[in-house]
Amino acid sequence: MLGFAWRGPLAALVVAASTAAAPVSGVDVAAGTAGVSSAAAGARTDTAAADTVVFSGGCFWGVQAVFQRVRGVEVATAGYAGGSAATASYGMTSTGRTGHAESVRVVYDPGRVSYGTLLRLFFTVVHDPTQKNRQGPDIGTQYRSAIWTTSPRQARLAHDFIARLERNGIFQRPIVTEVHPLDGFYPAETYHQDYLLHHPEQPYIAINDLPKVRALRRDFPDLWRTDPAPWRTTGPRPEP
């Protein structure tokens, strides 16, 4: 897996509306995010059963590491989405020919963290949604940006959220994030789970993923959890 340096200013896009924010790359952040709040993306404060959504945003090590630290996330599992069970392995997915994207299944409590908040983190902390079939020098369709929804409501809110970002000119380039109904998620091999927790000093992690986790803690202190959410499988894991 090749690395890229995460661009920290993206995290500043979603500071609270009451917080003064300086322009980022010529964008008035405070004005630009008007109407892109969690409420606009279906925030809920009622206690409800756990819900699930799957995010693809480049290497799943970093995606998992961020969502594991979000208060209200109950499970964050690295895996594969977009292809068949027969080819759901790291070796085959890495060819870029299976249809899979490296992904993370997020099980969350809507009474503690809204779907809208997860979308905000995905678009501002987790990855760059303007890079098509890549994240930095990690190149291939397996690194594409995608949201795999588990209900029509999730899909509608995701499309609405992307449209708001585009209308407000948050990014200088078009957003290329795909939105699809989830038709299968396959947990990754055990050695990929909790990868950042087990290998915090590995160069790829130190350069690419730890900055994202630090940005989450710095810019979203109310969402930060000190104990990372576990990963969990619901079926057989593919062999390495």
The CATH fold of domain 49-223: Peptide Methionine Sulfoxide Reductase; Chain A (3.30.1060)
pLDDT at 111: 96
Q: Please state the domain extents for the chain.
A: 49-223
Question: First and final CA of the chain: distance in angstroms?
Answer: 16
Mean pLDDT of 133-148: 94
Q: Report yes or no: 148 and 181 within 8 Å, Cβ to Cβ.
A: yes
Is the confidence at residue 65, as pLDDT, over 90?
Answer: yes
**DSSP codes joined into one string, 113-177:** S-HHHHHHHIIIII--TT-TTEETTEESGGG-EEEEESSHHHHHHHHHHHHHHHHTT-SSS----
Helix H or strand E segment including 65: helix 60-67
Where does the pLDDT of residue 77 fall: very low under 50, low under 70, confident under 90, or very high at 90 and above?
very high
Q: Which residues pair with 77 in a beta bridge?
A: 105
At residue 233 the predicted structure's pLDDT band, cuts being 50, 70 and 90, is low
- Select the more confidently predicted residue: 240 or 145: 145
- In the prediction, which pLDDT does 218 show? 97
Q: What is the pTM of this model?
A: 0.81
CA–CA gap between residue 173 and residue 154 (Å, rounded): 24
Q: What is the pLDDT of residues 181-190, one digit of tens each?
A: 999 999 999 9
**Mean per-residue pLDDT, 52-75:** 98
Q: Which of 29, 36, 59, 146 is catalytic?
A: 59
139-153 average pLDDT score: 98
Is 143 an annotated catalytic residue?
no
**Residues 108, 111: Cα–Cα separation, whole Å:** 9
Whether the pLDDT of residue 118 is over 90: the answer is yes
